[in-house]
Every structure is written in C-alpha cells, then in structure tokens.
Amino acid sequence: MSTDTRPSSATSAALAFMAVIWVSPFAWLLSNAFDTGANGQLRLPAEPGLGNFLGAMSGPALTQFWNSMFIGVGTATLTLVVGSGAAYALSRLRIPGRNGLLWSLVLLRMLPPTGILVPIYFAAQSVGLLNNLGIVVALTVLNLPFAMLLLKNFFDTVPVELEEAAHVEGASLPRILWRVVMPMSRAGLAVVWFFTFTSAWNEFLFPLLFSRTEDAFPMSIGLYSAFGRNGSIEYGFLAAFSIIYAAPAIAVYFLLRRNMNTGFAGVGVKG
Amino acid sequence: MRDPRSSWASPWLSGSIPVLVLAALPALLFVGVLLYFTLWAVVFSFTDLELFGRKATDWSFVGIENYERLFTRRGFLESLWTTLTFTFFSAIVGQSVLGFLLASTLRRYRGSMRGTIEVCLMLGWLLPDIVAAFLWSATTSKTGLVNQVILGPLGVEPVNFLNDYALQVVILANIWKGTAWSYLLYSAALDNVPGEVVEAAKVDGANGWQRTRRVILPIIKPHIGTNMLFITIWTFTYFPLIYAMTGGGPGSQTETLPIFLYQQSFSVGKLGYGSAISVAMLAIVGVMSIFYLRLLKEPK
Amino acid sequence: MKAPIQGAAICALFAGATPALADVSIMYPDWITALVEPAIEAYEAETGETVTSTRLPTDGYDRRIAVDLAAGTAADVVVLDSFMVAQLADAGYLASLDEQLADWDQYQQFMPALLDVTSFDGTAYALPVDTDVRMLWYNRSVFEEAGIEMPWTPETWDDVLETATTIKDETGIDYAFVLPAGTKQGEAATMQGFYMALLGADTAEGERNRLRNWEEGKWIADSPAIRQVAELYDEVYNQRELTEPSINYATDLGNATREALASNELGIFASGSWERSCLFNCNGVDIPSPEERAEIVGWTPWPSSGAEGAEQGANVSGGWAMGLNAGSGDMEAAKQLLTTIFDYDNFQPWVVDNGRMAVREDIAASEDFAANDYLAAVTELSANTTGRDTYPGYQVVSSLIQDMTGAILDGVPVDEALEEYREALVDEFGEDSVMTLD
C-alpha cells in the first residue's frame, strides 16, 4: 500500500501540532532537572545548572543501573526463552482448545499483582528467592501469558511449508528452528522482549519487597529516594534521575526499532 | 495449509513431538505457579485474612461474606463504574482510535516527521508512572502549563483542572501514556494490508472513508480484537498513574478498582476482601473478553 | 498458624533468617539516616562486628516492614511508625522493651506519655524517635487583606469558620480553610483533621472525644463528638465551600500547600509542627530565615467546638519509633545496637540539629534544645497531648474515618456517612465490640 498521495500540508501541520502537545508536559521535567534550586513548580530554572544530574549519578546510581539491567534483561530473556518453547509447541501441535487455554491464561494476568503479592512473597521466601533472581522469576511468571499468546501468533505466521522443505532437505529440528523459524519471527521475538523489558525495568513493588540489601536495589527504588517524610520531595533529583532512568529504555527501543516496525503484523490472532 | 490427516502435528514434526513437549515443560511449570497464586487469591477470598495483626496468622473461613461486601459496602460498585468509564474513554476510544489515526496518517511519511512523533509517543510510554503523574499534575494545575500558556493569554480565569475535571484529566494522561502501543500495533497491521486491494477499491470510486471502513478495517480486524483485549486488561488493572495523580480523589471521583483494591489490601490490610475484589475483577474482564473473542471469530 | 504462612515460617529458618545469626541487622527509612549511621559506626568500632543495614525510601517503607515482620524476614532492629506498634506487638512480632531494656540506665529518661504511644497492654514495644503536635497555621498576608486581627486566637470552631468565611468573601481565595480529608493522605487526614477536631468536640470529662472507649473495650461508632466533627467537615466542604477539595488529593500534597501559600491562595491550614519548614521547603532548600517565616505564617492551637466543658488546645501526637524484632537471632547484639542509637550523645545532637521535638526529659532540658524558641513553644503544646487509639484494628478504624471524610467531601449527607461508618465498624469488629455514646 505504497501508492497513496503525498500528505497534505494541513495534515503535516496537524501532526506537528500534535507533537507539540505530546511533548509539552515535559516542560516541567526539564525545567526542574536543570534547576539546582528546583521547587516542583513550572518556571524557568532559578539556578540553572547540571548539579541535579551530578547528584543523581553519584551515590549508588551505577549499582542500581546494573541491578535494573539484570532485572530487565533477565526477565525479558527468560520470558522469551520459556515462552517461545511453549509457544512453538502450541503453534505446531494441534492440541484441542489451545487457543481457549491461552486466552484464559492471559485473563489470569488480570489479577492485579498487588492482589497476589503476599503469597508470591511467601513462596519466594520458602524457596530462598528473596533476591533479584526471585524478582526475575516472579516477573516472568506474571509476563508469561502475554508473551506466549503473542509468540504463538508470530510463530503461526511462519509458513509450515518452509519448515517442511528444510526437513526434506535433511535439516534437523534445532537447525530448522535456528535457520528458518527464528529469522522469520525475529521481529516478533523483539517485540515480546522489548515489552517485557520495559515492564520489568519500571517495576517498583517487587524490588521494594524482594531486594534485601541496598546493593541489590534497582533504579526504580533509587528514584523513590527523592521522596522524603511528610511529603517532602527533592524535585531536582527526581527530574534528573528520571531522565537518566528512562534513557536506557529509550536507547533499547531504538536498537530494536527496525525489527519491531515490521514485526507487529504478527500480533493479531488469526481466529 | 496443514495436513488434515495428521491429528497432532505436521508429518515432518511427528518424530519430534517429545522434544516439543519437553520445550514446553518450563512454561508449564511457570504457568503452574501462576495458577497456584490465582488459586490462593480465590481461596483466601473466602477468609478474613489480614495483612497485619492477629488475623495475619489466625484467620478463618467466612463463607461468601467478602463477596457480599462487594455489594453492601460503599466502594466496589462505584469504583467499577469509574473503571468502566476510564477504560472505555482512555483505552478503547482514546488510545485505540488515536493510535489508528496516527498509524494510518504516518504511513505516508518517512524520515524526521515520523521519527519525531514516534519518539514523542515512546517518551510517554517509557517514562516512570510516578514521574508522568507529576508531569500531568504540573501541566493541569492552576499555575500549570495549560493555564499559563493557553488560557491565561486568552483572558480566561485559571482553572484547577484536577479539581474540576479529575476523571477527564486522568483519562487524557492515560491516552498520552499508552497510545504508543496501539500506534505500533496498528501501523504494523496496516503494513499487512495488500496495496492492490486498496487500489482496486479506489478504482471502484470508493473515497478515503469508504476504503477504510469496507476494505482496511475488515482486514485488520484480528489485530483490533487482540489490541482491545490487551489494552482493556492493562487499563482495567492500571494503578500507579492514577494513584499518584489523585489517589482516587477528589472524594472518589477517580477511584478505579485497582486503587480500591490497593486501599483495602494494604491501607486497611484486609487481604481476604482484597482477594474477593481481585476475583471479581477477573470475572468482569472475562465476560468482556468473550465479546472480543466474538469479534475475532467472525467469518472473514 | 495455618499454611501457607506456617510453611513460610518454617522455611524462614533455612532461608531468610540465617544472616541474622551472623551479625546484627537494621532496616530504616531514608530520613532517619543521620541518626542511625553514626551509631552503626560506633557499634562496629566498639564490638568489631559488622552491621547489615538496609536503608529504604520513605515512600513504601510501611508496606515493606509489615510484610517483613509477618514473614519473619525483618531486620533485628526495625524502625516503624508508632501507630503500627500495637498491632505488630499484638501479633507477637516485637520484643517487650520493659524486659529487654530494664537494665539500661537511660530508659527512664523517655517521657512516659510518649512511651504510652508505643505501648500495648501496658508494655512498651518500641522507643519513640521523635514526636509532633498539631495546630492551625495561618497566612498573615491573606489575613491582613481580609482585615482580620492578628495574632489570631479563635476560641471556638465557629470563630474559625467565620474567619474562613470572611477570608473567602473578602479575598476569593481557593483554600480559605484546609481541613485534611479523604484517603489519599492516609493517616494525615485522620490525625491532622478528624482527630484534632474530635479532641475538642465534646466535654473533656469521661473520655468522650475518642474513637475507642478503653474501659469498655469497644470502638465508638457514633457519639456527639464524632457527629459534630462530621458536621464540621460538611460545613467546610459543602455548606460554606471554604476550600477546593482537590488539595486533599494533589499529586504532590506538600507542593500543593506550598504553592497555595506562595500564591496567597491558602488561608488557614490544619496541620502539624513540621509545617514550619515544610510550608516553605521540607528539605530546607531556599528557605527563608525563621524570623522571615514567622512574618509569613502564624499558628494557633486548635480551639474547642464551643460545647460546654470542651477543651481548648487538646492535642494528639504521632511520630516514629524503633523496636526489636522478637524473632531476632541475637537479641543481645540487637539490644546493644538499639541503645547505641538512642544513647544521649548520639540522639541529642540529632534532635537539636533536625529541629525535632524531644522525647526524652534530659534532651528537653538540655541547653541547646531550650534555646530554640519554636521548639520550646510547641513542646508546651505537647503538655496536653495524647496518642491515637492504637489498639489493634486502629488502622482499619482510621481508614474508615478517612472514607467517612471523603464521602462527606463528595457530598454524602452527614447522617448517611455516619451510618455507613457504623455499619463498617460492626462488619469489621462485630456488634459486641462497637458502641454508641449519647
């Protein structure tokens, strides 16, 4: 569908206008991040400077960055590996009621994490997983239904004929998976990985309870050190830290963007 | 596509079934854990378990008392209505429609304009919820951006939007935050629409709206259905943004079910009642999803 | 105990609790760092052992400590909000300090009224870290504009309502009288709003101004005092519309009041002793001198309702506390760490430097504490203070109170809101544990 006429200038103006609307709330973030005397109000920086960024990066920020990376990358990768195994099997084996099964699993995810936080905590404690590995496992459990449904749909779009052709030529199963299935659903894998990564990257509640020592805290908890007692807030720190905090996730988005733009077509369920 | 005579798998795979089953085992284990927790919520929704104090250890079964509370005590039904409004306007209408419009418009663009808009959408999606809440509060407060930059110069008295239009503001904030997903999904779906079909409709004299309605929408219907299910689930359970912005207020104007659940489970500490709320939410969205499944199952 | 908690507790012996045997551990919120850190260093220097310390963001701390204690994964020394003490002690999570600290010579210095707050069934389970009192703050320039005489000394609620009405009529500001309400602020709405009014509502005789009748051992569902306070809320938010409700639900509550004060939209504000800095900036950044601040805002004790025998200036205090985990692997070490933190030489400088109210007689009497005029003045208010009704279940009662104020603010009629409160109490505690005062 590449034959459309060129966009009109009115549409372009509307889009530019929308872009402005969309970024305008960030005025608050920037004005506070670059104001070392930030007081949480929207104003031109009273004492412009980079002090907040220095403050946000000193201290445990680097350790927290690596912990966040561990949680984000770990959850996304574990979810992907575990999810694809099952999703491929579900896609290729004609198990009766498999679609209904997947949909019910996605619905289970309806249970808000806060609702089952306490049993998860006790379970993690009893198997000695009150640490960042435990967070990875817990978040994988919660993300798996979505991932499996998405992945199965992506695998469904890979034509079986190609696999059969490779089989006829004598390729083994692992080789077919590696050479045929993986490349053709690479985009889908990227999508699932990215969205699992961002949700784990932003997770606050599980680290708050699971991470036993300060060395294990991720950046989501670091962000909260901006909030003090009686509702006091260090705005400069909060704004600068959240920019630093969001940056890696945005970088990851750009690294995966090429894959994702072509990959989303597989998301729909072919009912 | 598949050979109907083979009951379980394509012939080439029939020798590898054990391997496939083995590959699915870890997922089965994880799903089992999820089922266990769900079962926990269901079982404890019939108890008076509390988070602190004596009833944290010394709980007992109380029958369907917690479910009765859903209807006899203030809170649940009111919150349900707020949640439905919030979900309908912010996800189903807002994110989905805006995402589709953007996707279909931006397809014609290459380069900086498209890139810029995508980054704008992504920034909202990736910003931590608590910070997004501050952004929106600062934008809509009496001394905020809207009043300073738009209403002030027009000579309009400053409006405290979070006081006068709380639900509308959180709906807008959620549209701002979540449109990225619908946009990405729809733009990929539109990539799948064969150009020839659209061309043919054009030759037949269909205008832009007719082409969209008669040709494009039916083709991408499965994507619309899946997207609706996902964003409904997400929005129905979405908690941090509203909680940080208004805490459910003023009064209970923006108290959605997740906020109500959180208050009951963690502020009041009634985990049993909280579990009943969770289970009820599960049932409600389960019913809604049947509607979406219908949308998907319709013959093409 | 029943599964799965029992299973978890058994497994805790193998998993979570093991580090506690090796050395002593402590968990505390950010804001108290300056008190805890020097003591940890001193302890380590003295004993040669290391302390495992976990510092958490203040936001979310409450959740973690409750789950931790329940699961047996808490540190040996725990910091907690004083209102949680009774509930956690009742569940057996905290060690009795009367036993543990009997031979610590500084224990008697803690003010008995404040140890009461951290006691359950007559036994103290935590040491108070600090305390606070509550009052009405007012904005001097708004008062001037409205032509109200200062210093402002209202004697009844009606005086306050009349003043606020005058302010609203004369200046048209948005927040003529901010009376904390609703669920978003949690305990703040109960303490700064409802409780403060309640204490001066009815005659001071016979403990009628409380949420719990301690003699009967019952929660009070309805009383003239509770009814009067509910009507006060109705008056403020509905009848006279003295303030826009949203300030109780602001994304950032501190900033909302601060901004309202800075733009002269705030008239009277029911809050606590910390506002002396927090109305400007809790963190002390860009903050005017104490004299300048006194020029901008004034304060007055809460008046009474005006009912016969009702008391002026009654107060309720909260604050944080520190206790010992009953399941600690090494109680002696935990005790030593606790007493190192509260040792006069560690504790007194922190109290003075941070402008906290004193919880010990010897600190209150110390020279550099008495030199602070403001602290001396608010300490006078604390002469007539009381604790919350922190019997187990208080947390539920408090959140029901918040629900009630939120409902009134939402426009629910007072009678209906009170009836819902009574029903909720009965539902929670049973008809036998709830009573009505006439």
Give yes or no for C249 touching B (CB within 8 A). yes
Residues in CB range of B181: below 8 A, 6 or more apart: A195, B95, B99, B125, B227, B230, B231
Residues in CB range of C133: below 8 A, 6 or more apart: C272, C273, C315, C317, C357, C378, C381, C382, C385
Q: What is the pLDDT of residues A239-256, one digit of tens each?
A: 999 899 988 888 888 888
Identify whether B15 is part of a domain: no
Instruction: Find tokens 């400088």 and name the residue.
Output: C349
pLDDT at A2 over 50: no
Residue among C233, C273, C200 at smallest CA distance from C402:
C233
Give the pLDDT of residue B298.
Answer: 53
**Nearest residue of chain A to residue B56 (CA atoms):** A118
Where along chain C do its domains lie?
Answer: 5-132+317-382, 134-316+393-436
Q: Which of residues 175-214 of C touch B (CB under 8 A)?
A: 182-186
Please state, in angstroms and as integers, the Cα–Cα distance from residue B33 to each residue in A95, A146, A193, B280, following that order: 22, 15, 21, 21
Residues in CB range of C281: below 8 A, 6 or more apart: A39, A232, C258, C287
Q: What is the pLDDT of residues C19-48, one digit of tens each?
A: 434 589 999 998 899 999 999 999 999 998
Q: Output the average pLDDT for chain C.
A: 88
Find the CATH number of the domain harbouring B248. Answer: 1.10.3720.10
Q: Which of C66, C246, C395 sits opposite B250 (nearest CB)?
A: C246
Tokens standing for residue A107: 């619905």
Give yes or no for B212 touching C (CB within 8 A). no
Please state, in angstroms and as integers, the Cα–Cα distance from residue B114 to each residue in A58, A254, B109, B208, C192, following that order: 36, 14, 6, 21, 52
Give the pLDDT of residue B189.
Answer: 77
Q: How many CB atoms are located within 10 Å of the residue C260 CB?
A: 25
Give the pLDDT of residue A7.
Answer: 66
Please state, in angstroms and as integers, the Cα–Cα distance from residue C416 to each residue in A148, B80, B122, C39, C201, following that order: 49, 21, 47, 52, 20
| pTM for this prediction | 0.86
- pLDDT grade for B32, boundaries at 50, 70 and 90: very high
In angstroms, the CA A102 to CA A99 distance is 5
Instruction: Find tokens 């949640």 and name the residue.
Output: B83
For residue A45, the distance in angstroms to the closest alpha carbon of chain C comes to: 13
Q: Which of A12, A164, A173 sits opposite B113 (nearest CB)?
A: A12
Phi, psi (degrees; rounded to nearest 5) at B251 = 60, -115
Question: Structural domain of residue B94, as residue ranges?
Answer: 74-297
For residue A205, the distance in angstroms to the closest alpha carbon of chain C comes to: 9
Number of domains observed in the structure of chain B: 1
Mutate to test the interface with B, among A3, A6, A28 (most CBs of B within 10 A): A28
In angstroms, the CA B63 to CA B48 distance is 9
Topology agreement, domain C5-132+317-382 and domain C134-316+393-436: yes
- Model ipTM value: 0.82
- Which residues of A fall within a CB distance of 8 Å from B12? 163-164, 167-168
Least confident of A135-149, A238-252, C7-21: C7-21
Q: What is the pLDDT of residues C187-233, one digit of tens each?
A: 889 999 999 999 999 998 888 999 999 999 999 999 999 999 999 99
- pLDDT grade for C242, boundaries at 50, 70 and 90: very high
Check the CA dihedral B62-B64-B65-B67 and report its sign. Answer: positive
Helix locations, A9-131, DSSP H: 9-23, 26-33, 51-57, 61-92, 98-108, 117-126
HEC per residue, chain C? CCCCHHHHHHHHHHCCCHHHHHCEEEEEEHHHHHHHHHHHHHHHHHHCCCEEEEEECCCCHHHHHHHHHHHCCCCCEEEEEHHHHHHHHHCCCECCHHHHCCCCCCHHHECHHHHHHCEECCEECCEECCCCCEEEEEEHHHHHHCCCCCCCCCCEHHHHHHHHHHHHHHHCCCEEEECCCCCCCCHHHHHHHHHHHHHCCCECCCCCCCCEECCCCEEEEECHHHHHHHHHHHHHHHHCCCECHHHHCCCCHHHHHHHHHHCCCEEEEEEECCHHHHCCCCCCCCCCCHHHHHHHEEEECCCECCCCCECCCCEECCCEEEEEECCCCCHHHHHHHHHHHCCHHHHHHHHHHCCCCCCEHHHHCCHHHHCCHHHHHHHHHHHHEECCCCCCCHHHHHHHHHHHHHHHHCCCCHHHHHHHHHHHHHHHHCHHHEEECC
Q: Which of residues 84-123 of A touch C (CB under 8 A)?
A: 118-119, 121-123
Cβ(A177)–Cβ(A89) below 8 Å: no
Q: Cβ contact (<8 Å) for B248 and C184?
A: yes
Phi, psi (degrees; rounded to nearest 5) at C20 = -60, -25
Partners of chain B (3+ Cβ pairs below 8 A): A, C
More confident residue, B53 or C271: C271
Q: What is the pLDDT of residues A60-106, one digit of tens each?
A: 889 999 999 999 999 999 999 999 999 998 888 888 878 778 888 88
Q: Which of B51, B250, B252 sits opposite C66 (nearest CB)?
A: B51
Give yes or no for C105 touching A (CB within 8 A). no
Identify whether B105 is part of a domain: yes
Q: Which of B8, B116, B148 sits opposite A94 (nearest CB)?
A: B8
Percentage of the residues of chain C whose pLDDT score is greater than 70: 95
Instruction: Go through the domains of chain A in sequence order and give each one's CATH number.
Output: 64-267 (1.10.3720.10)
- pLDDT grade for C12, boundaries at 50, 70 and 90: very low
Q: What is the pLDDT of residues A156-200, one digit of tens each?
A: 877 788 888 888 888 888 888 888 888 778 777 887 898 899 889
Q: How many CB atoms are located within 10 Å of the residue A270 CB?
A: 11
Query: CA triplet C270, C275, C281: central angle to 5 degrees?
Result: 135
Give the pLDDT of residue C22.
Answer: 56
More confident residue, A146 or B223: A146
pLDDT at C249 over 50: yes
Give the pLDDT of residue C4.
Answer: 39
Cβ(A146)–Cβ(A75) below 8 Å: no
Instruction: Name the fold adopted by C134-316+393-436.
Output: D-Maltodextrin-Binding Protein; domain 2 (3.40.190)
- Which residues of B fall within a CB distance of 8 Å from A268? 189, 220, 222-226
Strands C134-139 and C297-300: antiparallel
pLDDT at C302 over 50: yes
C-alpha A109 chain-centroid distance = 16
In angstroms, the CA A26 to CA C294 distance is 36
Give the pLDDT of residue C181.
Answer: 95
Q: What is the pLDDT of residues B99-109, one digit of tens each?
A: 999 988 888 77
- pLDDT grade for B297, boundaries at 50, 70 and 90: low
Instruction: Find tokens 């412009």 and name the residue.
Output: A48
* Range C5-132+317-382: architecture per CATH: 3-Layer(aba) Sandwich (3.40)
For C348, half-sphere exposure in the C-beta direction (CA atoms, 13 angstrom radius) is: 16
In angstroms, the CA C412 to CA B176 distance is 33
Cβ(B76)–Cβ(B260) below 8 Å: yes
pLDDT at C333 over 80: yes
Q: What is the pLDDT of residues C160-197, one digit of tens each?
A: 999 999 999 999 999 999 999 998 888 889 999 999 99
Burial of B85 (0-12, 13-18, 19+ CB in 10 A): middle
Q: Which of residues 84-113 of B touch C (CB under 8 A)?
A: none
Burial of C247 (0-12, 13-18, 19+ CB in 10 A): buried
- pLDDT grade for A214, boundaries at 50, 70 and 90: confident
